[in-house]
Amino acid sequence: MQQGIFRKKICFLSSLACIILLVIYFFLSRQKINPVVIFIFISINILIVFSLLRFFSDKDSLLASRIENIKERINLVNVEIKKSRELGASLKFKITRYDNLKKFIEDLNRSLRLEVVVHVLASTVYNLISNMKGIALFYLLDNHTQKLNLIHSIKEDSQIVIRSKEGDIFDYWVLRHSRELIIEDLKNDFRFDLDTVRSQQMRPILSLISSPLISHHSLLGLLRLESDKKGSFDQDDLRFLSLVSGLGAVALENSLLFQKTQDLAIHDDLTGLFTKQYFIGRLREEAKRCLRLDQRLSLMMIDIDFFKQYNDKFGHTAGDIVLKKVSFLLKDSLNQLRPLLCRFGGEEFLVMLSGLDKQRSLEVAEDLRKRIQKETILLRRQNTSVTVSIGLACLPLDTKDEDELVQKADKAMYDAKRKGRNRVCYI
């Protein structure tokens, strides 16, 4: 803009000089001065004017060049300022993200419960990396089957269905390589076949990051973030996810060990059924709930007939085999009814069935007795079988007290023993 104003001033001065020269020329012509002198005078003035114009033109070019240089420098400075601001914002974001690690560690150390540890890990990366967008998935690895199990998910859209409960092609890539995975644009990632991915998924995926949870060289599971937009994650996100996974793997291992210890405390070592103490506690809770909701609750007391004879004839190891077999038959036969099973002591078992009336419970007990009687057990290369005596009592029909319910089921079971065993009796 200043350059244009400067040029207008030069044009104005040039025009003014020409007008002055013309005025002088006419004035000298009237004075009858020698034309040669006039010509020389005019020529000198013209040279002076053109010299001034040339001078100011050079000044104009120099000024224009300086202005361009200044503008270029300003642009460079603006670019640097923009980069500095972006870098500052990025650093501030990273500082904020890593500052949250302190709270993350505190939350992890607050509880040893598996569900708490899993929730803290998944929600931390979902909030700090995904900014609560897309999907977060948490898988645990089953050491026996070497399969992944989806135990927790966070979804931006609650309508999205996660079909891959045991993991997909991306999860097993992480499992196979035991290292992090980043996909910035699935359409341009040569490692995975797009048609295979589409056939396995109902939801669109264009970018994701995933990290294994490894503690003491043991892979426990994996943590994954995904988005339906490309370029949602970068290497900084992957590094942070890896850091969180490393810290979380230790807490997860402690949680799994704690859960295993708890399971051992409430389960019988031999049969895997609940212990008497745990069962009675659950029975009291369930009895109160059923009474409050006016629902039925049935209790079976089961005893293996002539169990001592198996121990005397085949040895105590054979007795353990019989107990394991009967325990398996209880779980397998009653699985659809979702019972609570307990090894009450020795060769006695307790079965709690919620929501079944007395008539239906009697039918279930009779079917169970027949199933156990038909089952063949191999003891010291001999095929044998066992029978059971079952006593049944129902709440609130027979009693409204849970302790008395156990006593009545026990009494009914002894009635079955007295009447010849291998039968179902009830109060």
Judge whether residue 112 has pLDDT over 70.
yes
Work out the average pLDDT over 251-263: 88
Q: Tell me how far apart the alpha carbons of residues 391 and 394 are, in angstroms, rounded to a whole number.
A: 10
* pLDDT tens column, 317-359: 888 999 999 999 999 999 999 999 999 988 999 999 999 989 9
* Burial of 28 per CB tally in 10 Å (0-12, 13-18, 19+): middle
Ramachandran bin of 273, using left for φ above 0, alpha for ψ from -120 to 50, beta for the remaining angles:
beta
The segment with the largest mean pLDDT, out of 61-70, 97-106, 234-243, is: 234-243
Helix axes 402-418, 276-293, angle to 10 degrees: 110
Work out the average pLDDT over 223-240: 92
* pLDDT tens column, 14-43: 666 666 666 666 665 555 556 666 566 667
Q: Per DSSP, what are the bridge partners of residue 391?
A: 301, 425
pLDDT of res. 219:
92
Q: Tell me how far apart the alpha carbons of residues 270 and 359 are, in angstroms, rounded to a whole number.
A: 32
pLDDT of res. 412:
96
The segment with the largest mean pLDDT, out of 13-22, 195-204, 247-256, 374-383, is: 247-256
CB within 8 Å of 24: residues ≥ 6 apart: 41, 42, 45
* Residue of 226, 347, 348, 402 with catalytic role: 347
Structure-block tokens of residue 30: 């009237």
Work out the average pLDDT over 60-67: 79
- Do the Cβ atoms of 150 and 137 come closer than 8 Å? yes
Q: In degrees rounded to 5, what are phi and psi of residue 382? A: -120, 135
pTM for the model stands at: 0.62
pLDDT of res. 108:
83
Q: How far is CA 198 from CA 201, 202, 330, 404, in A?
A: 5, 7, 43, 59
CB within 8 Å of 402: residues ≥ 6 apart: 280, 283, 284, 287, 395
pLDDT of res. 25:
60
Q: Tell me how far apart the alpha carbons of residues 83 and 86 are, in angstroms, rounded to a whole number.
A: 5
Work out the average pLDDT over 234-247: 91
- Do the Cβ atoms of 393 and 413 come closer than 8 Å? no
347 is catalytic: yes
